[in-house]
Amino acid sequence: MADTNLPSVETTHHEWDGIEELNTPLPRWWLWTFYATIIFALGYMVAYPAVPLLSTATAGMLNWSSRGQFAQEQAAAKAARAGTEQALASLPIEQIAADPRLMGAAVEGGRAAFKVNCVQCHGAGAAGSPGYPNLNDNDWLWGGDLRAIHTTLEHGIRHPGDEATRMSQMPAFGRDGILNAGQIADVVSHVRVIAGAEAPSRSAQRGAQLYADSCAACHGAEGKGDRALGAPNLTDAIWLYGGDRAALTQTVTNARYGVMPGWNRKLDAATLNMLAAYVHSLGGGE
């Protein structure tokens, strides 16, 4: 008797335990989609850079490149910022601060510039380290308003070759033979007492007279400092090089002459204004 259950699709002629595998053709839509992807790939290869050569690659009929597109986007962004950048470069920092839009742009631009030029010394969070001041607090040697910060950025501190640089020269009382070791110890005791770091003592009493004779001219009779001279406040327990006895003894004996570069020869006017705005915004600006 003839088998009336013949499959309508040819098999692969493989059989496993009576089970045969059909050789079902692929759906037409799938085949056409596959062919379309091949055509698209060939077209893409002709239109865009695709085929690597020895030292370069085919440019493609559209002459497109990711670097070229990036350059175009950069040019467009620069054109969009041109007005703001011109204002940041030409206006004094006080006028920039009076315009919320400009000040916002300055702070954000200064944030980026700080990461490139300043974090190496002041740290990513501007908290500083021994010898490098914390820019987040309100303790300023030469003032913390926008103009004072801008001047410090522009001319630096003890920056060689800049006559307008911030300059303070504390004598090296021990190295130069002005005070002996015992007198230096007494001065350190007095400084720590007025800073609230040490209880009054006979050493501090002796140091008070030495302080009045040798230190008060710059730091003031009460140790509050003098911004005109860059002399720090000795009573606020904020120390650039440390406030323990060893650190203060080293400071009085040999003095400290840290240097900050003046950025007026390395950064343009807009960047200086942006940095001043950013530093002022950190929380300690006056």
Q: For the segment 151-164, what is each residue's pLDDT rounded down to a tens digit? A: 999 999 999 999 99
Amino acid at 216: A
- Into how many domains does the chain fold? 2
Residue 140 lies in a domain: yes
Q: Which residues contact 277 (CB under 8 A, 6 or more apart)?
A: 93, 96, 97, 103, 106, 107, 110, 146
- Using DSSP, how many helices (H) and how many strands (E) does the chain show? 11, 2
User: Is 97 part of any domain?
Assistant: yes
Residue labelled with tokens 């390395």: 266
Q: Is residue 174 part of a domain?
A: no
Q: Classify 10 as helix, strand or coil.
A: coil
CA distance 125 to 115: 9
- What residue numbers does the annotated binding site cover? 118, 121-122, 170, 215, 218-219, 260
Q: Which pLDDT value is given to residue 17?
A: 86
Q: Which domain holds residue 91?
A: 86-164+260-281
**Is there a contact between 109 and 271 (Cβ–Cβ < 8 Å)?**
yes
pLDDT confidence tier of residue 5, bands split at 50, 70 and 90: low
Taking 60 as the threshold, does the pLDDT of residue 6 lie above it?
no
Section 161-187 average pLDDT: 96
Instruction: Determine which helix (DSSP H) or strand (DSSP E) holds 22, and give its type and residue range.
Output: strand 19-22
Assigned token pair, 95: 């006028």
Mean pLDDT, residues 14-38 taken together: 91
As annotated, the binding site for heme c includes 118, 121-122, 170, 215, 218-219, 260
Residues 157, 265, single domain; the answer is: yes
What CATH number is given to the structural domain containing 234?
1.10.760.10
Q: Is the pTM of this model over 0.95?
A: no
pLDDT for 168: 92
The chain-wide mean pLDDT, for the chain, equals 94
Closest CA to 150 of 194, 97, 206, 99: 97
In the Cβ-directed half-sphere of 242, how many Cα atoms lie within 13 Å?
11
Please report whether residue 117 resides in a domain: yes
Beta strand pairing call for 11-16 and 19-22:
antiparallel
What integer pLDDT is reported at residue 11 of this predicted model? 83
Q: How far apart are CA 226 and CA 219, in angstroms?
A: 6
Based on the fold, state whether residues 242 and 111 are members of the same structural domain: no
If pLDDT is split at 50, 70 and 90, which confidence band does 193 have?
very high
CA dist 97 and 107 (Å) reads: 10
Which of 13-22, 218-227, 246-255 is the least confident region?
13-22
Higher pLDDT, 284 or 187: 187
**Quick one: 265 and 154 in the same domain?**
yes
Average pLDDT value for residue range 111-134: 96
Within-domain flag for 28: no
pLDDT > 80? residue 228: yes
The pLDDT of residue 268: 96
**Contact predicate 260/159, CB 8 Å:** yes
The reply to whether 191 and 157 lie within a common domain is no
Distances (CA, A) of 198 to 43, 78, 186, 211, 265: 82, 57, 12, 16, 45
Mean pLDDT of 39-60: 92
pLDDT at residue 9 tops 90: no
Residue 266 structure tokens: 């390395």
pLDDT at 93 > cutoff 70: yes
My answer on whether 139 and 265 are in the same domain is yes
Q: Per-residue pLDDT for 20 more than 90?
A: no
Helix axes 181-194, 245-254, angle to 10 degrees: 120
Following DSSP, what letter does each residue of 217-286 receive, concatenated? HHH-TTS--BTTTTBPPSSS---SS--SHHHHHHHHHH-----B--GGGTS-HHHHHHHHHHHHHTTT--
* Pair (265, 148) in one structural domain: yes
Is 65 within a domain? no
Burial of 269 (0-12, 13-18, 19+ CB in 10 A): middle
